[in-house]
Chains A and B, each alone.
Chain A
Amino acid sequence: MIHLEKINRIFQVGDQQVRALNDVDLTIRSGEYLSIMGPSGSGKSTLLNILGLLDQPSSGTYQLDGRETTQIDDEQLARLRGRKIGFVFQFFHLIGRLSAAENIELPLILAEEAPAVRKPKVQEILHKVGLEDRAEHRPDQLSGGQRQRVAIARATITRPDVLLADEPTGNLDSVSGAEVIQLMETMNDSGLTVLVVTHDPIIGDRARRKIKMIDGAIVADTQERGDEDT
């Protein structure tokens, strides 16, 4: 589903060129559950941004669902992000003045879906993340774990192909963190591709496929029992 080939990402910092990604090749199949781990500055966030079409590589090719994404314009990228990719961030990124339900509804609003179509979808996903009784609460009235569950609901309401989570438990206590991970795993069980970027080895080790990055390169890519090699 996702196929990266010889991806390089070079940032210009002052006079110096910093190579954040160095000839990265990566293929991700539909329904996989993988983690990316590595120290700060290893390029894992940059890789996530490129996978999420938020950033474009300096060179290399990225095929999403068989479609080359490095040549298309900003408008099309935005539309692809809205349709195919769900994001979960460390700091939740909920809009404080909107209720939980309204936050979840946002991607559908941006996709110009009719209100009559949106409402049942929001109800369904609220049920799925167990926040039906919190629908009208604003983010500041929710606990950290609840906020991240709202964020996961928002990321998955468009039924994306892949959920990209950047340190999803980085701002949570271990109990809420485990809940959030479980929720994502449940979604993975029903077919959603899940990619988690994390520092936390406990979280990272739960994934069936583990990728380790150092200095902008993938140094290890291990599959768990039953899954074939890449």
Chain B
Amino acid sequence: MRTADMARLAGSAVTAHRLRSALTTLGIAIGIFAVVLLTSIGEGIHRFVMSEFTQFGTNIIGINPGKATTMGASIGIFGSVRPLSIDDAEALRRLPYVESVVTMVQGNAEIEFGRLQRRTTVYGVSPDFPQVFQFDVASGSFLPPDDPRNPRAVAVLGSKLANELFPKESPVGARIRVGGDRYRVVGVMEPKGTMLGFDLDDTIFVPASRGLDLFGREGLMEIDILYAENAPVDELVSGIKRLLIARHGGEDVTITTQQQMMDVLGSVLGVLTFAVGALGGISLLVGGVGIFSIMTISVSERTSEVGLLRALGASKGQILTLFLGEAILLAAAGGFAGLVVGWGGAWMINQLIPSMPVHTPLYFVFLAEFAAILIGLLAGVAPARRAAAMIPVEALRTE
């Protein structure tokens, strides 16, 4: 049978029972709606989290003290962890492909200016910090390139802290106290916003070794390395590992490349999206059951029509195609309706709650419609086969 004729015949059967077809279609529509909306939200969250993490750039390698593996044996003497020192950072700086090295220690301290006080997050960092984390200075300058072991007592304020402590005047050049010690403000950062709920603007930056003193820590919390765009990452990582093993006498650090982190994060979020999509898929399955039952009813109602078509020369294949086409038509129409509503719903959420991350990738749309058609096909196979297998004489006799 010609495709156009097939579509017209199947279409006439669908439109002959408007309410019934509409309800059946609704089942699939709800399923597709759920899948599209849920995966849109999942994908939106995925993109949101990824962009939160990549705002610092992607060619960064993080080094943290301690080996992040679980071992069966007691850590004992092997477990001794040497602190990551500023000297380690200086040694890393000389490795090939390394462009900048940021030492990092973090804590809380009381900041005082005149009679104003504010407790805030203090980052003890090296002067490379803005370059590595794409964080710009708004006025003044960042920490000067002093001797990292004995830097001057200078500080750079986050934009929010600057506004709080210096509502009127410019803070650059002012004298403040950080945890009781006197510092001179040399600069103010650009606003950066928040990351996963942490306010990156309610902060103060001081030289790393002063940070260590301030918090009474022996070692750095993290060393971040910015490497050249075209660097061979594996080679670089093993170079870092060799250097630190030599300096520490054993492997006692964890090296994480930004790419690794992104990959892990991406796969976790991908699973999340898939899982919510699968939840929506359950309702799609229910819609498929609806098509199956309506097709079963339709086939028995039209037994004599099958007999007639067979008498007029229709082959079994043509009967099968006709009923399959009907099931697919129902499913495809439902899928399309669900897509429109689901996509529209995602768009509405975007408009009404801009902070809620929602994103519908185009391939999801095609995938969802394809899934609807596949479900229609599967739901239609058994009824259509039953219709095709009818004995013409008996089918004709049914009234």
Instruction: Tell me the count of chain A residues lying within 8 A, CB to CB, of chain B.
Output: 29
Question: For chain B residues 119-164, which have a beta carbon within 8 Å of chain A?
Answer: none
Known: A97-B13, A110-B314, A110-B318. A54 touches B393 (CB 8 A): yes
Residue of A nearest to B5 (CB): A109
Q: Assess the A110–B1 pair: CB atoms within 8 A.
A: yes
A112 adjacent to B2 (CB under 8 Å): yes
- Chain A residues whose C-beta falls within 8 Å of the C-beta of B399 in the assembled complex: 91
Contact with B along A154-176 (1 / 0, CB 8 A): 10001000000000000000000
- B316 within 8 Å of A (CB atoms): yes
| A75-B317, A87-B312, A110-B318 given; 6 more Cβ-contact pairs under 8 Å | A54-B310, A78-B313, A82-B312, A89-B396, A98-B12, A115-B5
Instruction: Tell me the nearest residue of chain B to A55, going by C-beta.
Output: B393
Q: Which residues of B contact A75 (CB under 8 A)?
A: 315-317
Binding site for A on B (CB under 8 A): 1-2, 4-5, 9, 12-13, 15-16, 304-305, 307-318, 392-393, 396, 399
A190 CB, min distance to chain B CBs, angstroms: 22
Chain A residues with Cβ below 8 Å from B314 are 78, 82, 110
The 9 closest A-B CB pairs, nearest first, are: A82-B313, A97-B16, A78-B315, A93-B308, A107-B312, A109-B5, A54-B392, A110-B314, A54-B393
Give every chain A residue within 8 A of B12 (Cβ-Cβ): 97-98
Rounded to whole Å, the gap between the CB of A74 and the closest CB of chain B is 6
Cβ of A181 within 8 Å of any chain B Cβ, yes or no, is no
Contact B311 A74 (CB under 8 A): no
Residues of B within 8 A of A109 (CB): 1-2, 5, 9
A79 engages B13 (CB within 8 Å): no
Chain B residue nearest to A118 (CB atoms) is B5
Residues of B near A74 (CB, < 8 A) are 315-316
Instruction: List residues of chain A with CB within 8 A of the CB of B318.
Output: 110
Distance of A102 from chain B, by nearest CB (Å):
8
Closest to B312 in A: A107
Do the beta carbons of B313 and A107 come within 8 Å of each other?
Answer: yes
- Choose among B313, B315, B392 the residue with the greatest number of A CB atoms under 10 Å from its CB: B313
Known: A89-B396, A112-B1. A106 touches B309 (CB 8 A): yes
Check B315 against A49 for contact (C-beta < 8 Å).
Answer: no
Tell me the minimal C-beta distance from A32 to chain B in angstroms.
21
Q: How far is the CA of A158 from the CA of B392 in the complex (A)?
A: 20
Return the contact of B311 from the options A52, A96, A97, A111 (Cβ within 8 A): A52
Chain B residues whose C-beta falls within 8 Å of the C-beta of A112 in the assembled complex: 1-2
| Bound-state Cα–Cα, A95 to B312, Å | 12
**Contact status B316-A54, CB under 8 Å:** no
Q: How far is the CA of A96 from the CA of B393 in the complex (A)?
A: 20
Question: Most chain-B CB neighbours within 10 Å: which of A54, A87, A154?
Answer: A54
- Pair A110/B312 contact, Cβ less than 8 Å: yes
Chain B, residue nearest A86 (CB): B312
A158-B4 Cα distance, complex, nearest whole Å: 20
Contacts of A115 in B (CB 8 A): 4-5
Docked CA distance A120–B307 (Å): 27
| Interface residue A199 (Cβ < 8 Å from any Cβ of B) | no
**What are 12 inter-chain pairs, A to B, with CB distance below 8 A?**
A52-B311, A54-B396, A55-B393, A81-B310, A82-B312, A82-B313, A83-B313, A91-B399, A106-B309, A110-B312, A110-B314, A111-B313
A78 vs B316: C-alpha distance when bound (angstroms):
8
Complex: A75 Cα to B312 Cα, angstroms: 13
Chain A 44-55, CB within 8 Å of chain B: the 1/0 string?
Answer: 000001001011
Bound complex: CA A91 to CA B398 (Å): 11
Question: Are A49 and B309 interface neighbours, CB within 8 A?
Answer: no
Question: Nearest A residue to B313 by beta-carbon distance?
Answer: A82
CB distance from A159 to the nearest CB of B (A): 13
Instruction: Write out the residue numbers on chain A whose beta carbons fall within 8 Å of the beta carbon of B307.
Output: 93
Nearest-Cβ distance from residue A97 to partner chain B, whole angstroms: 4
Residues of A within 8 A of B315 (CB): 74-75, 78-79
Query: What separation, in Å, do the CA atoms of A96 and B9 have in the docked complex?
Result: 12
Distance between Cα atoms of A78 and B12 in the complex (Å): 23
Q: How far is the CB of A108 from chain B (nearest CB, A)?
A: 9
Cα–Cα distance between A136 and B5 once the two chains are bound (Å): 17
> In the bound complex, what is the Cα–Cα distance between A79 and B310 (angstroms)?
10
* A78, B309: Cα distance in complex, Å: 10
Which residues of chain B have C-beta atoms less than 8 A from A154's C-beta? 312
A70 CB to nearest chain B CB (Å): 16
**B316 adjacent to A81 (CB under 8 Å):** no
- Interchain CB contact under 8 A, A49 and B393: yes
Q: Which residues of A contact B5 (CB under 8 A)?
A: 109, 115
Interface pair B312/A106, CB less than 8 Å apart: yes
The residues of B that contact A91 with a CB separation of less than 8 Å are 399
Residue of chain B at shortest CB distance from A49: B393
| Bound CA–CA A50/B81 (angstroms) | 94
Which residues of the partner chain A approach B1 to less than 8 Å between Cβ atoms? 109-110, 112
Q: A79: nearest residue on chain B (CB-CB)?
A: B313
Query: Which residue in chain B gives the minimum CB-CB distance to A91?
Result: B399
Q: Using Cβ atoms and an 8 Å threshold, which residues of chain B touch A78? A: 310, 313-316
Bound together, the chains give a CA A75 to CA B320 distance in angstroms of 13
The smallest C-beta distance from A216 to any residue of chain B, in angstroms, reads 16
Residues on B with beta carbons closer than 8 Å to the beta carbon of A54: 310-311, 392-393, 396
